[in-house]
A and B are shown apart, each in its own frame.
Chain A
């Protein structure tokens, strides 16, 4: 079966712009989580969605937001981009206690 799909794979944006990243979970998985990975901070939890509801949120500013649709696909949005938002954004879908990660979206803010 298909894995977790994240689009786009690479993105270059300018400071002050906004960006939307997409994550399609494995079929049948209703839980989707987002992580930010940077060389300095490692992997940091952003938020988790289950059945269209945000269940948990990490310690990130309000510029970071997300949502989940009825088909379990999820999007995350970052507004007013800053240079420090440059990172690999990973999405994971889970079921039965095991998480499967996508390849990530590499965001570069210039």
Chain B
């Protein structure tokens, strides 16, 4: 069965310092993995996705994530936080992304605060 764990419900960093948002998953098959970002009062925006190609995935706004099968992790990182990065981040796992949405699981979310 699929599940997604986001290890921190809230992360606070200073502007200009690195960001690390942690995500662990469990899946019976080779999953597709995604990170979405939601700014206040906005919809969700796709940051990046892993679909069994390169394990290091680069996304928008300087974010990247590395798929580590041995650790069942898909942590999101950014070298230098910007004030505009303050938002809610969701890790998503899917075993049938391209054909069905009934096996898409959203993590509980991590709220990122950026301190000036």
Please name the residue on chain B nearest to A90 by beta carbon: B43
- B residues 14-60 in Cβ contact with A at 8 Å: 32, 36, 41-46, 49, 51
Consensus secondary structure, chain B interface: loop
Distance in angstroms between the alpha carbons of A19 and B104 in the assembled complex: 26
Q: How far is the CB of A11 from chain B (nearest CB, A)?
A: 14
A81 contacts chain B at the CB level, 8 A cutoff = no
- Taking a contact as CB atoms under 8 Å apart, the answer to whether B46 and A100 are in contact is yes
* 0/1 interface trace, chain A 52-63, chain B, CB 8 Å (1 if under): 000111100000
- Taking a contact as CB atoms under 8 Å apart, the answer to whether B106 and A31 are in contact is no
- Taking a contact as CB atoms under 8 Å apart, the answer to whether B43 and A104 are in contact is yes
Given contacts A42-B108, A42-B109, A43-B106, contact A101 B100 (CB under 8 A): no
A45 contacts chain B at the CB level, 8 A cutoff = yes
* 0/1 interface trace, chain A 92-110, chain B, CB 8 Å (1 if under): 1010111111111000000
A26 contacts chain B at the CB level, 8 A cutoff = no
* 0/1 interface trace, chain A 75-94, chain B, CB 8 Å (1 if under): 00000000000000010101
Count contacts on B: residues with CB < 8 A to the other chain: 21
Given contacts A101-B43, A102-B43, contact A45 B98 (CB under 8 A): no
B71 contacts chain A at the CB level, 8 A cutoff = no
B residues within 8 A CB of A42? 106-109
> Can you name 20 A-B residue pairings with CB atoms under 8 Å?
A4-B43, A42-B109, A43-B90, A43-B106, A43-B109, A45-B102, A55-B100, A55-B101, A56-B101, A90-B43, A92-B44, A94-B101, A97-B32, A97-B49, A97-B97, A100-B46, A101-B43, A102-B43, A103-B42, A104-B43
Could you tell me which B residues sit within 8 Å of A by CB distance? 32, 36, 41-46, 49, 51, 90, 97-98, 100-102, 104, 106-109
Could you tell me which A residues sit within 8 Å of B by CB distance? 4, 6, 31, 33, 35, 42-43, 45, 48, 55-58, 90, 92, 94, 96-104
